[in-house]
Amino acid sequence: LKPAVHALFKKLKDEELELLVQVVESRGAWESGCVLAPRGDPRGVKQGLPPQVLLCRLFRWPDLHQSHELKHLCYCAGGQGACGDLAGLCCNPHHFSRLAVPGIPGAPRPSICPHTPSVPTPLGPSSCLPRSHPAGASSALPLPDTSLSWSTITDGCWCKLAYWEYRTRVGRLYAVHEASVNVFCELPRGSGFCLAQLPAAYRSCAVRRARGKIGRGLQLSQEPGGVWAYNRSEHPIFVSSPTLSPPGLPVLKVLPGYSAKVFDYERAGGTGGWQLPGEGPCDPHSIRISFAKGWGPCYSRQFITSCPCWLEVLLNQPH
């Protein structure tokens, strides 16, 4: 790739090169601007590789081949359709993720982050309702600010986040009003749902170990048609959602640097009484994500409540 990269670098302005250096050295720890490469003129580009494929292959994924394997992240101008109006094409390697493909089996172990509970909660996650309750009903948590009824969800935000350690919810619900939110363990450059700021009266060794693997965590974004999760950490995340396909795949493993569409609004209407094998009916507008620890038939952990650290995403039903 050396001749092709040199040819591309010669076309970039000094400020673009300076930005690229900062982005690569920080490994995308903060949201940066677009690095614009001139359009057209494929001379010197190895086998006609687009600039974004060239730099993503050089700095992130040596096995990358084509642009359709990539997805723009939500804060890239190209991801919002504005790239076509710009003077060049964005080739910032940290403005892209790779696409996770549901249906490819893979269930290594994930482990996630811990936070100490401030309020004890019932036996299971809020979105897994007792069989006598219709989906969307309140799970009757003890305190008003922790009630997960739809009246608390539909207050102008598109989702609320609940952080769990095993069967205990930690802290209050985190409302998301922006188009995207970062969920991470320690404060980076930027903002979002920082798990380190949640109360921590007690943490088991397993939770502390899992917490050490969260790192930069993940980014959730609401985009046309659905919700995407981008794994920003250095360990896998594991996702269950009523709209993931194929339906028989209970949990999707998303590797570091990959993105997956974890909820599809069009498909959500037909999910009905969604439930995973061995678990009760679950809210059809919820997503559950475990950091670094998987669960299900292939694991010693049969249920997500056996995972040390996990996230529940309670979606506002679109009107």
* Residues of the domain holding 249: 159-271+281-315
Residue 104 in domain: no
C-alpha–C-alpha distance, residues 95 and 56, integer Å: 9
* Pair 95, 163 in one domain: no
Give the pLDDT of residue 136: 31
Per the structure, the count of domains in the chain is 2
Give the pLDDT of residue 188: 67
* Pair 31, 170 in one domain: no
Residue 109 in domain: no
Give the pLDDT of residue 274: 55
86 phi and psi angles, rounded to 5 deg:
-85, 165
Give the pLDDT of residue 151: 42
Give the pLDDT of residue 106: 39
C-alpha–C-alpha distance, residues 76 and 8, integer Å: 20
Give the pLDDT of residue 228: 95
pTM comes to: 0.78
Residue 127 in domain: no
Residue 106 in domain: no
C-alpha–C-alpha distance, residues 223 and 225, integer Å: 6
β-strand partners of 311: 163, 289
Give the pLDDT of residue 115: 33
* Pair 198, 57 in one domain: no
CA-derived radius of gyration, the chain: 21
Residue 87 in domain: yes
Give the pLDDT of residue 1: 82
Q: Which two tokens stand for residue 227?
A: 């919700």
Residue 130 in domain: no
HSE-CB of 245 using CA atoms within 13 angstroms? 5
Residue 113 in domain: no
β-strand partners of 286: 314
Query: For position 33, which CATH number holds?
Result: 3.90.520.10
Q: Which residues contact 301 (CB under 8 A, 6 or more apart)?
A: 293, 294, 295, 307
* Each residue's pLDDT expressed in tens, for the chain with a length of 319 residues: 888 999 999 999 999 999 999 999 988 888 889 998 887 655 544 457 889 999 999 999 999 988 899 999 988 886 655 444 566 889 999 999 999 876 554 333 333 333 323 333 333 444 443 322 333 333 323 323 333 444 444 468 999 999 999 999 999 999 999 999 999 987 666 689 999 888 877 889 999 999 999 999 999 999 988 999 999 999 999 999 988 866 556 789 999 999 999 999 888 765 555 555 555 556 788 999 999 999 988 888 989 999 999 999 999 876 5
